[in-house]
Amino acid sequence: MAMAAPAVVASTHLGTPVVDDKTTTSSTTNNDDTSCTSPGIITCPNEIQKQIVKGVVRAKLSKRRHLVLPRAISPDYLDTLMPDIVTNLFEPQPVTYNGGVANIKQWKISCYLEVMEGGVPCTNPHMALQRHCSELLETCNMLFASWYRQQHACNDNRKSAKYKMDENSYPIVSRLMTFITRYNPAPEENALLKHVDGAGKVDGSLVVALPIDRWTDSYGNNSFEGYGGGLTFWDGRMSGKNEPEEILYDTRSGDVAFIDKAVWHQANPITKGTRWALVIFYNVER
Ligand SMILES: O=C(O)CCC(=O)C(=O)O
Ligand SMILES: [Fe+2]
């Protein structure tokens, strides 16, 4: 039976507040971590917050609704989580999607930490894996809320554009579905071709690139470096063919992709090694 596991709302956020769409200056309410001497899950929260602000401003100029931030999560932190994931916890859970996911009927390479009640796919979440990643998941909520607030800061008066806010004026976000995927070169296991995430319920997604597995085999054997991987987006200004631009990111451990509702993207095929990613689908309360 599928179990819903709604997320705790992050009440404290990254240090620096957003720059409003219409303003060109920012104010800082929290300067206490500018030195970044004690790296945590996010190596330097103030710096990441600034990069979210800058990245979204740039994305909006190109009419893009996604953002990829290099090393937003500390690769060193991910290195402490991965050994248990790759050696003990990760168990692929075969699931059948309605109509298939990116044309694959039986998806066999993900392990689900949280699933939507009555949703598709219907599977038992892996509670031990969820507990193992709980701190990381809460950090992802914070990052996603910060990005979403920035991306959707505007004077749009449509009701659908409005969201509920917490006491710090951040959107109230909850995880609808959370899973870890391990790609390998086998057909139907090497990629997740061009798709949009979830049904209508998903307001946005976050993808964390996880480290190359150096614990079940050597780096050399598991690396996909030079053999594909990364993410492609079709988003933003229409190009010559009246299609959105195609943008490729060669993502590495700690890189975080923020994806707005119904943005087309793909996890590119790999032809060698294994590639791991954490994926979260979000609901934003209206
Ligand atoms: O594996 C990735 O890097 C992204 C996968 C993805 O887009 C998805 O699972 O919806
Ligand atoms: Fe996706």
Task: pLDDT tens for the chain, 286 residues: list them.
Answer: 333 333 333 334 675 444 444 333 333 334 444 556 555 999 899 999 999 999 999 999 999 999 999 999 999 999 999 999 999 999 999 988 777 778 888 899 999 999 987 777 778 999 999 999 999 999 999 999 999 999 999 767 787 789 999 999 999 999 999 999 999 999 999 999 999 998 778 999 999 999 999 999 999 999 999 999 999 999 998 877 788 999 999 999 999 999 999 999 999 999 999 999 999 999 999 9
Q: Is 207 in the pocket of ligand 1 (CB under 6 A)?
A: yes
pLDDT at 26 (0 to 100): 36
Give the pLDDT score at 7: 36
Are 202 and 283 a contacting pair, CB within 8 Å? Answer: yes
- Residue 15 in any domain: the answer is no
Q: Which atom of ligand 1 is nearest to the CA of 265?
A: 7
Both structure tokens of 272: 């060698």
**Bridge-based pairing state of the strands 231-238 and 104-107:** unpaired
Q: Is residue 119 domain-resident?
A: yes
For residue 94, the number of C-alpha atoms closer than 13 Å in the C-beta half-sphere is: 3
Say yes or no: CB of residue 265 within 6 Å of ligand 1.
yes
Any domain includes 88 = yes
Q: Complex ipTM, two decimals?
A: 0.99
Which domain, by its residues, includes 169? 45-284
- The tokens describing 23, both together, are 């303003």
User: CA nearest 178: which of 3, 1, 14, 41?
Assistant: 3
pLDDT at position 278: 99
- Residues contacting 214, CB < 8 A, separation 6+: 222
Helices 134-151 and 75-84, axial angle in degrees (round to 10): 140
Q: SS3 of 284, please?
A: strand
Q: Which residue has the tokens 């705790």?
A: 8
Residue 134, phi then psi, degrees to nearest 5? -60, -40
User: Which atom in ligand 1 lies closest to the alpha carbon of residue 205?
Assistant: 10
Taking CA atoms only, the protein residue closest to ligand 1 atom 9 is 279
Mean pLDDT, the chain, rounded, equals: 87
**Structure confidence at residue 43 (pLDDT):** 84
Residue 265 lies in a domain: yes
Which runs of consecutive H residues, i.e. helices, occur in the chain? 45-61, 75-84, 127-132, 134-151, 219-222
Is 181 close to ligand 1, i.e. is its CB under 6 Å away?
Answer: yes
Q: If you compute the radius of gyration of the chain from its CA atoms, what whole number of angstroms results?
A: 18
Number of domains within the chain: 1
* Domain membership flag for residue 204: yes
Of 198, 196, 150, whose CA–CA distance to 176 is shortest? 198
Our answer on whether the CB atom of 192 is closer than 6 Å to any ligand 1 atom is yes
Is the residue at 11 inside a domain? no
Residue 89 sits in a domain whose CATH number is 2.60.120.620
pLDDT of residue 158: 82
- pLDDT at res. 15: 56
Looking at the domain assignment, is residue 123 inside a domain? Answer: yes
Any idea what the Cα angle at residue 233 is, between residues 230 and 236, rounded to 5°? 150
Distance between Cα 180 and ligand 1 center (Å):
9
**51-64 burial string, b = 16+ CB within 10 Å, else e?**
bbbebbeebbeeeb
